[in-house]
Structure 1
Amino acid sequence: MRDDLHHSLPQTHPWRKVVEVACAPGLGGDLVDALTRATWAKADWLKEAWGKEFVQVLSTPQGELFGTEQMERKLLALEASCPSTDARRALDIAFGEIWSGQSNGDLKDRVVRAALEISAEDGIEGAVAWVADIHHETQVRQLRAALLQALPKCELRQPPAPKVRKHKPAIEQSLNAALSLQGV
């Protein structure tokens, strides 16, 4: 696969880094991390008040007899104010889980993961479409395969930890660094 496919996407496209890492695996980038970060960057609805209330409803323990009915009512109330299509999709997934009788234990984790996984698949297809406008079908197939293989390895239940910045050496340390002359 070519290592310049990321140039097909605009500079500010959130999936540009994902495509760059997928095309150049030997340069030390972590595809799973890049894919996770791009997916969570698009999940604005989870960070808004609507998303926080949605997660709270799904996290409520269902110990009582009519717990799922109360959860359904709260979710129906949230339905009227869905902030995005991704939020609507998460709501549909939550209703599907509840109606199938799966409203136990880790409902929040399952719903959030499923919604973000579908959002990631949409993001992958969007990035691949940008690349397909310019490059060969072979390149597009290889890129899609690499991204879809990495998707199941992503931890989408919670946002990724902030990136750790590398400590830059002081000017004196840089000037005093020993340079090897091997290969000269």
Structure 2
Amino acid sequence: MSDISPPRRRPGGRTARVGAAVHEAVRALIEERGRDGFTGRDVAERAGVNEATIYRRWGTLDNLVLDVAVAVAKLNQEQPLPDTGSLRRDLLLWAERMTTELGAPEGLSLLQAAIAARAHTATDSDRARQITDIAAARADLIQQMLDRARTRGEHTPTLSRVLDRLVAPLYLRAIFGYGRTELDLDDILDNTLAE
């Protein structure tokens, strides 16, 4: 018999595995049923955890969905930014990717969860910070594209103009269900980049 015991798992390892399983379950359920089509029990069963674990860790299903939205936003931020050598093409590729993300059931449901959570932020500064972080991450990506274009000597609009004229219509269409086929990104970009 050996006196060498097998390595023990770190306590944080199980916590991370549970968190990943729960996040994966939420994303799958949103894809299948939409945001309002599942309960904490459904998430627990799908993730293979006790329902009490979900409520102990996240408090409410809304908090959990918001946590998933923040995690997805961080993953999206890690995707490489388009770098075609032209601001217009970079913004077009980025906008096409955003349109696809927002048009997917998961993307729309997570956006709706963030908006719903925003209504309750007056009493929860942590949730308010998470929502602000999502928006700031998107704005930071756009600012990076603008800075890169400015360095190349291109005319660049302000971040505010890009948010108002390019990003806002994408989100408006996603939230209110306007069809993607009606979206004319070329026209929107012409308006955004006009001097």
Give the TM-score taking structure 2 as reference length: 0.29
Bigger radius of gyration among the two: 1
Higher relative contact order (CA 8 A, sep 6+): 1
